Amino acid sequence: MNNTRNEIKAQIIRAGFTMQEVCDRLHDDYGWSDSVSNFSNKLRRESLRFREIVELADVLGYDIVWQRRKER
């Protein structure tokens, strides 16, 4: 498995959701497919668009924040 997929799945678990619950909420809120296999394939292929990442974060109760790195 790749790091991106593992990180997203870990965030889903930390937020207290199952993959099916996330798919159902993404379907209801944003019109995504409610298929777990479609979502898993997007994770495996690393083909999520930024808009989809923002929508996923919203469903999980997160905001994506752009933060400038500290100078070294």
Sort 15 into a burial class: Cβ within 10 Å, 0-12 / 13-18 / 19+.
Answer: middle
Q: Dump pLDDT digits (tens) for 50-67.
A: 999 999 999 999 999 999
19 in Cβ contact with 36 (< 8 Å): yes
Q: What is the mean pLDDT of residues 5-10?
A: 92
The pLDDT value given to residue 4:
86
Closest CA to 59 of 13, 14, 12: 12
Domain count, the chain: 1
What would the pLDDT profile of 20-35 be if each residue is shown by its tens digit? 999 999 999 999 999 9
C-alpha to C-alpha distance for 10 and 4, rounded to whole angstroms: 10
Cα distance between residue 16 and residue 51, in whole Å: 22
The SS3 call for residue 21 is helix
Domain that holds residue 8: 3-60
- 20 in a domain, yes or no? yes
Does residue 66 sit within a domain? no
